[in-house]
Structure 1
Amino acid sequence: MEATAAPLMSHLIELRQRLIWSVAAFFVAFVISYTFATEIFNLLVVPFQWAVNWLDLSSDDVRFIYTAPQEFFFTKIKIGAFGGLVLAFPVIASQLYLFVAPGLYRNERQAFLPYLVATPILFLLGAALVYFLIIPMAMWFFLSMEQTGGEGLASIQHLPKVSEYLSLIMTLIFAFGIVFQLPVAITLLARAGLVTTESLASKRKYAIVIAFVAAAILTPPDPLTQIGLAVPTLLLYEFSILSARYVERKRREREADAAASDEDSGEETRSS
């Protein structure tokens, strides 16, 4: 215990330093995001505007309300936290990598780094799919249920709250961003030997069911949004199988090279 006390303490000190840098980066990004919270919210409203234009509604219909004095303030806080997490993620991920990297071999660091780079890229791809396709389709579906008042008809209009709209779009962005990490997760499992391409292919029917169940839970109760999440999930699952197959092929090549080098060294030993 005395021999390991100093290394353990040094690791804890380094961990504290990495956490301080991560929290500081998040705080700075939070302040920046909160400062421009109104502009960010207006940017998030653009998909709603597209849905309004598709339905040929007047621009007066693009109106949001808040029913409590503090509602929009807390909405801006959520925007600040959301933007802070997104902006600070490269710093947080780099601090995590710098903490873990000294305990890895050189080949392990080279293997881990591409997955660290792919994670934010895949998350941004999922967020872009939400922004440019899923939210406009969902808003088009919901806004099409409005009813113009007239003789014998009630006027039914959609007046979205700022907090509810923000919660919807943030939930979808996080849901799609997490789902888009599927290739990274499965490839890492395949690299560790915990899954194989044969097992992934044999469980494809279960993956289809799980994808649609997850889409039903994570998205609003409309078929367009649910299909919009389930279909990319299944495509990512198939891509994950291809990625796992590539990892397995590389592992077999390394094992064959290692076996060949062992045979060559054994022959040299016998000849000497």
Structure 2
Amino acid sequence: MTEDIDDKPQPLLEHLMELRNRLMWAIGAFFIAFLVCFAFAKPLFNMLVQPFTWAVDWAGMTDRKIELIYTAPQEFFFTQIKIGMFGGVVLAFPMIAAQVYKFVAPGLYKNERSAFLPFLVASPVLFLLGAALVYFFFTPMVMWFFLAMEQTGGHGEASIVLLPKVSEYLGLIMTLIFAFGLVFQLPVVTTLLARAGLATSVGLAAKRKYAIVAAFVAAAVLTPPDPVSQIGLALPTIILYEIAIYCARLVERQRAAAKATAAADDPESSADSDPQGDA
């Protein structure tokens, strides 16, 4: 199978130069994407505030004005920088992933490249699905939960109103997007492990109860300390774990079918490899 590898022996210096070129392309793509996102930081932030608007509507506060505050002169400026960096990573990810693939692909067999490429496409798609779930459903639900804690300031009560800081609101939604995007990679990671023979569907199913506990522990670490966020992340994680088990079964069926086809095409080799046949 060595003839299937396109990589040619190269000195260490040439590998380092190749790595430098790939890094330059990746950093350049990120820098350009960062500048674009920073230039549109305010419209992007207004778009991220939209889930808060939906939460206000869910709470029946239709006459409420959406307000966020910043308590330090430089706070909103650094918030815009964070938006530019976060958006830059998202926009530049296809270029970054392509550069990583081009660097490692010459050292892979053709069947390994054909197996790796679909996961390179599936990973950002699943991340975007997790981000969409956060944006359209989970963040409005979390903000609605927090809005329910307000006090109207009736007789003998203080008026307590939710006025989120721009930096803390951005940190919350970025944390949720990162957490859900990471969890949605579970089927990809599990399928890759199954292809490499490092995981089996039987083994994953046997560890289901540990996975459930780990899902709630991870949700407690990755999300804000409220039950809505933690349960909202733990439940999709458990569902994705079941999907990962199913993906591992598909890989095992494909491997078994490939072995059966190879044995049918070359019965002599399979007979030679059978200990009973040798007897």
Normalised TM-score (structure 2): 0.91
User: CA offset at residue 58 of structure 1?
Assistant: 4.6
Question: Any gaps of 5 or more consecutive residues in structure 2?
Answer: 1-7, 272-279
Contact 2:56 2:64 in 1 (8 A): no
Match of 1:45, SS state, is helix
Q: Distance in 2 between matches of 1:167 and 1:241?
A: 33
Match of 2:152, SS state, is coil
Q: Which is further off, 207-216 or 222-231?
A: 222-231
Match of 2:166 among 159, 162, 165: 162
Match of 2:57 among 47, 53, 60: 53
1:97-246 matches, cutoff 5 A = 97-246=101-250
Match of 1:68 among 66, 72, 75: 72
Q: Which is further off, 220-229 or 26-35?
A: 220-229
Q: Percent same amino acid at aligned positions?
A: 67
User: CA offset at residue 248 of structure 1?
Assistant: 0.8
User: CA offset at residue 59 of structure 1?
Assistant: 4.5
1:25 aligns with 2:29: yes
Q: Distance in 1 between matches of 2:10 and 2:197?
A: 34
Q: Over the residues paired in the alignment, what is the CA RMSD in angstroms?
A: 1.6
Amino acid paired to 2:42: T
Q: Which is further off, 221-230 or 57-66?
A: 57-66
Contact 2:150 2:160 in 1 (8 A): yes
Contact 2:223 2:230 in 1 (8 A): yes
Q: Kindly tell me: are residues 5 and 245 of structure 1, through their superposed partners in 2, closer, same or farther at Cα, counting changes over 3 Å?
A: closer
Q: Kindly tell me: are residues 38 and 266 of structure 1, through their superposed partners in 2, closer, same or farther at Cα, counting changes over 3 Å?
A: closer
CA deviation map 1:35-59 (0-9, x unaligned): 0000000000000000111112255
Q: Distance in 2 between matches of 1:169 and 1:11?
A: 39
Contact 2:263 2:270 in 1 (8 A): no
Amino acid paired to 1:155: S
Q: Distance in 2 between matches of 1:243 and 1:154?
A: 54
User: CA offset at residue 180 of structure 1?
Assistant: 0.3
Q: Kindly tell me: are residues 115 and 266 of structure 1, through their superposed partners in 2, closer, same or farther at Cα, counting changes over 3 Å?
A: closer
CA deviation map 1:209-264 (0-9, x unaligned): 11111111111122222121111111110001110001011111222233334434
Amino acid paired to 2:152: T
User: CA offset at residue 265 of structure 1?
Assistant: 6.1
What count of residue pairs does the alignment treat as equivalent?
264
Amino acid paired to 1:164: E
Q: Distance in 1 between matches of 2:63 and 2:72?
A: 25
Q: Distance in 2 between matches of 1:171 and 1:91?
A: 23
Q: Kindly tell me: are residues 6 and 200 of structure 1, through their superposed partners in 2, closer, same or farther at Cα, counting changes over 3 Å?
A: closer
Q: Which is further off, 154-163 or 52-61?
A: 52-61
Normalised TM-score (structure 1): 0.93
CA deviation map 1:179-217 (0-9, x unaligned): 000000010001000111111000000111111111111
User: CA offset at residue 155 of structure 1?
Assistant: 0.5
